Amino acid sequence: MTAPQGTSLGAAAPGGGALLSQPRPRGRGRRRRPGQLVARAIVLVVVLGYLVLPLFAMVEFSTRGDYGTRSLGSYEAILSYPNLIDGIVTSLEIAVLTVLGMLILLVPTMVWTVVRVPRMRRVVEFLCLLPLAIPAIVIVVGIGPIYQWMGQHLGAVGASPLTLALIDIILVLPYAYRAIDASLRSIDTATLADAARSLGAGWPRTILQVIVPNIRGGILSASVLAIALVLGEYTISSLLAFNTLQVVIYLLGKRDPFVSVAVSFAALVFAFVLLFVISRFAPGAVHRGQQTIEEPAA
């Protein structure tokens, strides 16, 4: 089938691509005065120093050997502590469960709220941000009896440290909500959902095939934040007597501070690598529906 005779629509095809490659005009605002550059450099140095100095101190401390030498012995010793390996594995498992639980709970809820009951958006936002205002000790005191009951009645499952994911899902909600909400606001979620449904998609397909691919950036950000929070969570794990990575690091610090700092540094490097991989390979905000070319001539 070809375009009908007489139509002028076909002529619209070329031209758009050329406009895409046009460079952006640079305004006067792009030029910086020398004073501004110096101020920026100072700020950059201060910030980098604030961030890098502790890391440098950790490396310096964890690589101290005998008689003023340098050694990787503390890093090699990590593998010789079974509790530490167990703590790492447990924390990673909790992180995975937390991410899955958070996404399963949050994404459909937020999409449904935006599409079907937008007046509830504020309520959902309030509920998701609430954990920010509740201290960890209050959460533990409140939820402690539930964990006690689970330990007594649900056997090994109830006593597993993996149940910490239930609390961690709540703790990550404020950060995950913000990340996903920003992505949902960047697309016309309601119209995309209507379009998908009119074409024959049910709600699961609409969310999985149309909405999720277009908020992938937000989902990845939420997942990274969740992983970072779980790997760094100490208070609740400790108070509920579960041996997660941070708890083991703390205990190890009392016995062998060099290995403890080596593990902390390794965990930070792991988080940095994870962030880098995700930011490098996650899709950018390029397909966000903004109109980037002008109407072609008729």
Partner 1 sequence: MTSPSSSTGTAHGVAVSFQEMHRWYGPVHALDGLSIDIAPGEMIALLGPSGCGKTTALRALGGLDEVDAGRILVDGRDMTHVPANKRNMGIVFQAYSLFPNMTARDNVAYGLRLRGIGSAARRKTADEMLDLVGLGQQASRYPHQMSGGQQQRVALARALAIQPSVLLLDEPLSALDAKVRRQLREEIRRLQIMVGITTLFVTHDQEEALAMGDRVGVMSAGRLEQIAAPAELYDRPRTRFVAEFVGLTNRIDGTADGGVVRILGTVVPLLEGSAQSGQVKALVRPENVRLARAQDDGTARVAAVSFLGSLCRAQVTLPDDTLVVAQMSAAEASDLAPGTTVTVGVVPAPVFAVAD
Which residues of this protein are in contact with partner 1, per CB under 8 A? 1-5, 7-10, 12-14, 16-17, 20, 187-188, 191-192, 194-202, 205, 210, 213-214, 286-296, 298
Least distance CB 30 / partner 1 (angstroms) = 25
Cβ of residue 21: shortest distance to partner 1, in angstroms? 11
CB of 125 to partner 1, least distance (A): 22
How far apart are CB 111 and partner 1 at their closest, in Å? 14
CB 247, min distance to partner 1, A = 41
| Angle separating helix axes 164-185 and 136-153, nearest 10 degrees | 130
Which is closer to partner 1, CB of 69 or CB of 291? 291
Q: Which is nearer to partner 1, 142 or 213 (CB)?
A: 213
Q: How far is the CB of 12 from partner 1 (least distance, A)?
A: 6
The residue (of 14 and 29) whose beta carbon lies closer to partner 1 is 14
Q: Three-state SS across the chain?
A: CCCCCCCCHHHHCCCHHHHHCCCCCCCHHHCCCHHHHHHHHHHHHHHHHHHHHHHHHHHHHHCECHHHCECCHHHHHHHHCHHHHHHHHHHHHHHHHHHHHHHHHHHHHHHHHHHCCHHHHHHHHHHHHHHHHCCHHHHHHHHHHHHHHHHHHCHHHHHCHHHHHHHHHHHHHHHHHHHHHHHHHCCCHHHHHHHHHHCCCCHHHHHHHHHHHHCHHHHHHHHHHHHHHHHHCCHHHHHCCCCCHHHHHHHHHHHCHHHHHHHHHHHHHHHHHHHHHHHHHCCCCCCCCCCCCCCCCC
CB of 69 or CB of 290, closer to partner 1: 290
Residue among 121 and 205 whose Cβ is closer to partner 1 = 205
- What's the min distance (Å) between Cβ of 191 and partner 1? 5
Handedness of CA 147, 149, 150, 152 (dihedral sign): positive
- In terms of CB distance, is 8 or 69 closer to partner 1? 8
Residue (89 or 199) nearer to partner 1, CB:
199
